[in-house]
Structures are given as C-alpha cells and as structure tokens.
Structure 1
Amino acid sequence: MAKNESSGPKVAKTASAVLRDPGASKTAKSLAGSALSQTHTTKQSSATTASTASKALNDGRSSGSTKSLAGSVLTQKPKK
C-alpha cells in the first residue's frame, strides 16, 4: 500500500490564514481544518472530506487558497 503524505508548512500557513479569515466560506474553513489537522501526521482524509475537496476543485467560484487546500486534502485520501 502507498504511503500517504502529510500537509507541509506552506499548506499549514494557508490553512491557518483561511481559518482566521471571517469572510472565508464554510467549505474553505472545512478544508483548512482538515489540512491543518493532517500536518506532520499520516492521518487520512475521510470520504466526505475528499468529496468536498473534489467539488471545490471543480467549482469555478473557488478561490486559489480553497483549491490549494482541496488539492492537499485529496492527496491525503486513502490509497487503494
């Protein structure tokens, strides 16, 4: 089975900024929390979080930081 990656310092910094931003969307904050909780761990994203991340990546209205966090969350989904 392949090894999962953990969130790096750049993703953690982005996640922290999103969580402190009162104007950030609920989706962005959810992804930020997931990405931040996976910093320096091998914790995996849940199927629900991975689905949210996928939808955020496909939504043209998502901000760059939301898409960055979504990408990080998707790299941490369970490997098959």
Structure 2
Amino acid sequence: MPKNTKQTSTFVASLASKILRDDSSSAIQKELAGSAMAQASTGKQTGADMETKASQVLDSNKYNATTKTLAATVLAQSNKERGK
C-alpha cells in the first residue's frame, strides 16, 4: 500500500476528537472521526469501505456540515490508484 503523504489538519483532528468524546455523536460521525484521527499523524490512508461511506455522506442531504467536513477529509486522503 502506498504511503499517504497527506495528513488531517489540526482543525479537523480537534473536531474529530470532540466527536469521538461526545455521546450524542452519530455512528457515522464517529466512524469518519476515527478514520480522520488515524490519519492525523501517520502515513495511513483511507480504506475502500470508508471511501464509499464518505462519498455517500457527501452525496446526501441528510448530513450536517460537521459530518460532511469529516467525510471530505477522509476522501481527500483516499487511495487515488483505487479510482483508476
């Protein structure tokens, strides 16, 4: 697997941390936040399943701006080779 040279911004990492600690956060928010946090200071990149979930979030009108921010961050760190 290629190394991911992109990392989650400190703003999004802070947002993700808050979501993971908040009991009222939705399951999808926590999944996206966990993925974003995993990429905050490592060379990890988004897996195929998370790419699909993040894409569905961005395509839907039912998610709020916070959830979409996390989804966009996760997709920005996806494997570009997978899309070819």
CA-to-aligned-CA distance 1:18-73 (integer Å, 9 cap, x gap): 11121111111000000001002221100000101001111211111110010000
Residue type of the alignment partner of 1:68: T
Partner of 1:6: 7
Partner of 1:75: 76
Q: Which runs of 5+ in 1 are unaligned?
A: none
Q: Could you state the TM-score of these two structures normalised by the residue count of structure 1? A: 0.90
Q: How many residues align?
A: 79
Bigger relative contact order (CA 8 A; separation at least 6): 1
Identity percentage of aligned residues: 38
> 3-state DSSP class of the match of 1:5?
coil
Runs of 4+ in 1 over 6 A off after TM superposition: none
Q: Could you state the TM-score of these two structures normalised by the residue count of structure 2? A: 0.86
**Aligned-residue CA RMSD (Å):** 1.4
